Amino acid sequence: MRRVSKNLKPIRSDFFGTCPEVNVSAVVGMNGDGKSTIVELIMRLVNNCAIAYELAAKAESLRRVEGVKAELFYMIDHVVYRMAEENGQNEPRVWKIADLSDQSRDEWQLGPAEPVDIGVEMDKFFFTFVSNYSHYAYNIYDFHHEWEIRGDEEDDNEKCWLHYIFHKNDGYLAPITLHPYRDKGNIDINKEKSLSKQRLLSLFLNADNPNQNAQSFRRVNGKDAETLVLKEQKESKLHTKVITDYFRNSRQKVVFNTVLNQISNVDRDGEFDDKEYERLIDTVLPYFWEESLDEVINQDEGFRSFAEQMIVWLERNQNKVFSSSSDIRQVLRRLNELNAKYSHLNLGVHGRYGTKYGFLVKLNAAQLGRLDTVYRIMKFHGIDPAIAYKNFEELTLEDKCRHYIVYKTWSILITYPLYTKRLENDKPQKGSVREYGHSLEECMQMIMDDKQSHITRKLRQVFNFMEEGLEQGGLYERMGERRKKNNGLLVKLDALKEHYNGGIVKSDQLPPAIYEWDMEFTKEGDIHSCIEFDSFSSGEKQMLNSLGAIIYHLQNLENSSLVQYANVNIILEEIELYYHPECQRGYVNRLLELIAGLKLKNIQNVNIIFVTHSPFILSDVPKNNVLFLKGGHSVTDIQENTFGANIHTILQNAFFLNGVTIGDFARNKINQLFGKLHNDEITEEVYQEILLVSEPFIKSQLLKMYNERYPHHQMKEMEARIAMLEKSIGKDDNDKN
């Protein structure tokens, strides 16, 4: 392995930044030259590698792409690795192939390939973040030939491997994510907008006051982020998502099939079966019904009252949450029917069940299991279960915080593999009322012990908010002012930062999710103006969305409690979309400043690859960090350097433009002007079109030709005028005669 040139040394590792070390490179070429193909190949290879080394949360978290034959070389801390999937090989592997630590040399020997288990040695691999906001990119229907149809897919998304690498809540276990999320190829821009606002608040809070630093991230094209606008949520997610939605969706669900089937066996074909009845009374009812119900309703003195009050609240406030034929009601009804039909049966046994469980008849077993889960979460957090059956308008600020704690705990438990796998392994036996076994409490303790990852961040936010004190309406009510319209609460960013002693405002200290929030801006130099974020141009929003997403994911990777990546690879495709040239010109610098401001410790290396058509982006990247593509092949004979180069030179050379760097329409018009002048078509319209031409040399040549031909044109016009007058005079003489 040798250097391309002995005179061309690699740029210093601290050229783009230290802590972490950042490298910036670019891939350029014309449309169709293969830029996207390279990125997609990297994605396929990393995806398959993650499956091969079992890096994903579970086997079905990713889908393998068949037919991949490729190799990728990457270098970490001067060590070169090779990741490849080759002919006859069903999965890719990673090898260490060379150590380039001695940078004084120009050649290095390739040693024997050493297999690397990246599942264990994560510092020898990398996390890949790919961002592409083009509407035409990463549509699953464009990858139809790579679909894998297993028969259990709920929709087309689940047939395509791309769907599984869009950012999702796996705690970053899979080493690749694609941004933004697309549903069947479509970006939900409203959801992206909401997520972007959450990410941006942290960046704005930790940026300098724009009046003290004109380059502050808070200043966006002369608009300064000044005020946080808070509005209280209008509903409880504990009520809606955890309880009501589940009750509606599961009201026809039957858990006690075993019991109901056994009752049917007793009276099959209208004939009483003593043996089946004995089995019903001695085995099925005690173990598959009574024991299952008692485990829930007798867990402590408070649950029965909680369940009764929840039933009353749901009846009073919600529609279509109960079934008239719940499985609990069916068991009691059919036992009574047996009593009525066969008088010799032990009515006391049957009656006891009615007395004991009659209050539950509106519920089915699945709904009772959900109440059990809610109750156990509330008891774990020391929350009075009575607030669950308060109407939302009756909730105090503390109640709303506690409602959110229960909701978010439940959401984490059902979302993240760290917990879902543990709960699944301890799942109660079939026919049990309970949703979760004793591992539920263990998982909740794990959640409380997680003090840094993004998974529990929103819980930490609400805990911190409560610790600030809820008197006088809480922290934001005390430090903000109430707006009359929309009942919004205005909190100055500078005041909030000052509250935290002017230091870094941690993400844990952001407003809790009991609030909806937005940002307001002022016009630079006019503190009384008010500009809403929604009024920003598409380019301004896109710049903030893009930067916010990158920083958000870096922060999450830095603080992940599930996996630790020391190396991050960021691929930004068509980053110039929506951007004015001025935004393009400052993008690289702004991104590098934001990364430096994170003060990352766990992430050691960040590699950024721009796949771009922008000469402004390319002018920030040294030529030896640029892959030039033409016709699907790399081009190595580019003479001009790109770093700090004039954009016109970059356009002409680095982007392989044919001829002059002007539009084809303008070029054709200019050629027509030269033709008209050559044919002595000298008119006022020609002259006016010449004045439209901006390029100085071309314009001067056109004017020179025009002026050279104008006297000749004037003579020809004069001769034509004389001829016309003579003809007219001759006609007048004839008329007189």
DSSP secondary structure, 641-689, as one string: --TT--HHHHHHHTT---SSSS-HHHHHHHHHHHHHHHTT---HHHHHH
Judgement on whether residues 268 and 300 belong to the same structural domain of the protein? yes
In a shared domain, residues 384 and 530: no
C-alpha distances in Å from residue 540, one per residue of 215, 220, 590, 594 = 15, 7, 14, 17
Residues 396 and 515 in one domain: no
Cβ neighbors of 224 (< 8 A, separation 6 or more) are 210, 211, 218, 521, 522, 523, 524
Q: Within this chain, do residues 259 and 333 fall inside the same structural domain, yes or no?
A: yes
Residues of the chain with pLDDT under 70: 4-8, 87-88, 168, 346-350, 485-487, 639, 648, 652-661, 711-721, 730-737
List the Cα angle 283/284/290 in 5-degree steps. 100
* pLDDT computed for residue 46 by the predictor: 95
Nearest residue to 625 via CA among 27, 163, 103: 27
Domain-located, residue 187:
no
How many domains does the chain contain in total?
Answer: 3
Residue 496 pLDDT: 92
- Answer whether residue 352 is part of any domain: yes
The answer to whether 521 and 220 have CB atoms below 8 angstroms apart is yes
Whole-angstrom Cα distance, residue 86 to residue 549?
34
Does 93 reside within a domain? no
Return the percentage of the chain with pLDDT > 70, whole number: 93
- Residue 677 forms part of a structural domain: yes
Question: How far, rounded to the nearest angstrom, does the alpha carbon of residue 77 sit from its chain's CA centroid?
Answer: 30
| pTM given for the model | 0.78
Decide if 276 is inside a domain.
Answer: yes
The values of phi and psi at residue 295, to 5°, are: -55, -30
- Largest pairwise CA distance in the chain: 145
State whether 229 and 245 are in the same domain.
no
Q: Which of these three, 490, 508, 535, is where a domain ends?
A: 535
User: 679-704 burial string, b = 16+ CB within 10 Å, else e?
Assistant: eeebeeeeeebbeebeeeebeebbee
- Domain assignment present for 653: no
- The confidence score (pLDDT) of residue 295 equals 94
Do 730 and 693 share a domain, yes or no?
Answer: yes
Within this chain, do residues 438 and 500 fall inside the same structural domain, yes or no? no
Q: Is residue 104 part of a domain?
A: no
Q: Which residue has the tokens 């699944």?
A: 424
Note the Cα 664 to chain centre separation in Å.
39
- In this structure, the answer to whether residues 354 and 403 fall within a common structural domain is yes
In this structure, the answer to whether residues 282 and 391 fall within a common structural domain is yes
Q: How many CB atoms lie within 10 A of CB 341?
A: 11
What distance in Å separates the CA atoms of residue 462 and residue 495, rounded to the nearest whole number? 20
Examine the domain organization and report whether 324 and 387 are in the same domain.
Answer: yes
278, 285 Cβ separation under 8 angstroms: no
Domain shared by 366 and 505, yes or no: no
Containing domain of residue 221, as a range? 205-234+473-535
Residues 6 or more apart whose CB falls under 8 angstroms from that of 542 comprise: 133, 577, 578, 579
Tokens of 280: 């019903």
In a domain, 605, yes or no: no
Say what the pLDDT of residue 206 is: 85
| Torsion angle, alpha carbons of 479, 484, 488, 490, to 10 | -30
Among 417, 449, 481, the domain-final residue is: 449
Q: Please tell me the predicted confidence (pLDDT) of residue 87.
A: 67
Same domain, 225 and 272: no
608 strand-pairing partners: 24, 570
Among candidate residues 487, 516, 535, the one where a domain is terminated: 535
